[in-house]
A and B are shown apart, each in its own frame.
Chain A
Amino acid sequence: MLGLAKGLGYTLRRLTEKKVTYRYPDVPVKMPDRFRGIQHFDPDKCIVCHQCERICPTQCINLTGKPHPDPTKKGKVIDTYDINFEICILCDLCTEVCPTEAIVMTNNFELAAYSRDELFKDREWLAANNTNVRSENSTNLLPGGKKS
Chain B
Amino acid sequence: MAHWLSQPLSWTTAAVFLASAVAMLLVVLLFVTYAIYFERKVIGWIQLRRGPNRVGPYGLLQSVADVLKLLVKEDVIPDRADRTLFILAPVIAFVPAFAVLAVLPFTETLHFADLGVGLLYYVAVSGITTLGILLGGWASNNKYALLGGMRSVAQMISYEIPLVISVIGVVLLAGSLNLKEIVAAQSGGFWNWFFLKQILGFAVFVVAALAELNRTPFDLPEAESELVAGYHVEYSGFRFAFFMLAEYVYVFAMSALATVLFLGGWHPPIESLGFVPGLVWFALKFAFCVFFLFWLRATMPRVRVDQLMTFAWKVLLPLALLNLFLTALVKELVA
Contact = CB atoms under 8 A, between A and B. Distances in A.
Interface in A1-22: 4, 7-8, 10-12, 14-21
B291 to A, nearest CB: 10
A29 to B, nearest CB: 15
B295 A19 contact: no
Interface stretch (B42-50, B74-82, B124-132, B183-191): B42-50
Interface in B286-335: 295-296, 298-300
Bin chain B's interface residue count. Answer: 10 to 19
Nearest to B301: A7
Bin chain A's interface residue count. Answer: 10 to 19
Interface in A80-102: none
Contacts of B42: 15
Interface string B178-222: 000000000000000000000000000000000000000000000
Nearest to A6: B299
B186 to A, nearest CB: 25
Contact of B46 (A4, A14, A18, A20): A14
A19 B45 CA distance: 7
B46 A21 contact: no
A7 B48 contact: no
A24 B282 CA distance: 40
B45 to A, nearest CB: 5
B49 A21 contact: yes
Contacts of A15: 42, 45-46
Contacts of B296: 8
Contact of B49 (A8, A12, A16, A19): A19
A16 B45 contact: yes
A21 B45 contact: no
Nearest to B47: A14
B294 to A, nearest CB: 10
Nearest to A16: B45
B295 A18 contact: no
A11 B49 contact: no
Contact of A14 (B45, B50, B300): B45
A3 to B, nearest CB: 10
A12 B48 contact: no
B295 A21 contact: no
Interface in B6-63: 42, 45-50
Contacts of A18: 48
B299 A21 contact: no
A4 B216 CA distance: 13
B26 to A, nearest CB: 30
Given A15-B42, A16-B45, A21 B298 contact: no
A21 B53 CA distance: 12
B295 A8 contact: yes
Contacts of A16: 45
A35 to B, nearest CB: 24
A98 B152 CA distance: 66
Contacts of B47: 14
A21 B300 contact: no
A8 B292 CA distance: 10
B46 A19 contact: no
B49 A7 contact: no
A20 B46 CA distance: 11
B46 A11 contact: yes
Given A19-B49, A21-B50, 13 more contacts: A4-B300, A7-B300, A8-B295, A10-B299, A11-B298, A12-B46, A14-B47, A15-B42, A15-B45, A16-B45, A18-B48, A19-B48, A21-B49
The 9 closest A-B pairs by CB, nearest first: A11-B299, A20-B48, A7-B299, A11-B46, A14-B46, A15-B45, A21-B49, A11-B298, A19-B48
Interface of B: 42, 45-50, 295-296, 298-300
11 contacts: A4-B300, A7-B299, A7-B300, A11-B46, A11-B299, A14-B45, A14-B47, A14-B48, A15-B46, A19-B50, A21-B48
